[in-house]
Amino acid sequence: MEDCIFCKIVKGEIPCDKVYEDEKVLSFKDISPEAPVHVLIIPKKHITSINGLKKEDEELIGYIYNIGAKIAKELGVAEDGYRIVSNCGEDGGQTVPHIHFHLLGGRKLNWPPG
């Protein structure tokens, strides 16, 4: 996707504070953190949102959660707990139309979210 900000981050055209990278996934610190630990985990492949998922993406999403668990451990929040969420669409609070998973931790998170 030519004008997708997260595709540009994947291509290195926009810098990011990288936390993890492999052939399928990139994780970097959120530019506007909402918690002491706030990283985004994204597939390198452009998928617009949860609504854009296809059958073939099922393995990728499970993979992202496993990577998220590893990152949580590395960042020291695994034991106390954390949250991995993907906002979908306007009412879901999605502002970047490239599917991404927020990993939030390092403080007590409210439930339900606002």
The least distance separating ligand 5GP from the CB of residue 13, rounded to whole angstroms, comes to 11
With CB under 5 to 8 Å by kind, the binding choice for 1 among ligand 5GP, Zn ion, none is: Zn ion
Is residue 104 within 8 A of residue 85, CB to CB? The reply is yes
Dihedral sign for Cα atoms in the order 94, 84, 23, 76: positive
Distance between CA atoms of residues 30 and 64, nearest Å: 17
Quick one: 42 or 71, whose CB is closer to Zn ion? 42
16 to 55, contacts with Zn ion by CB under 5 A?
A: 46
Residues forming contacts to Zn ion in the complex (CB under 5 A) are: 1, 4, 6-7, 46, 98
Q: Which residues are catalytic?
A: 100
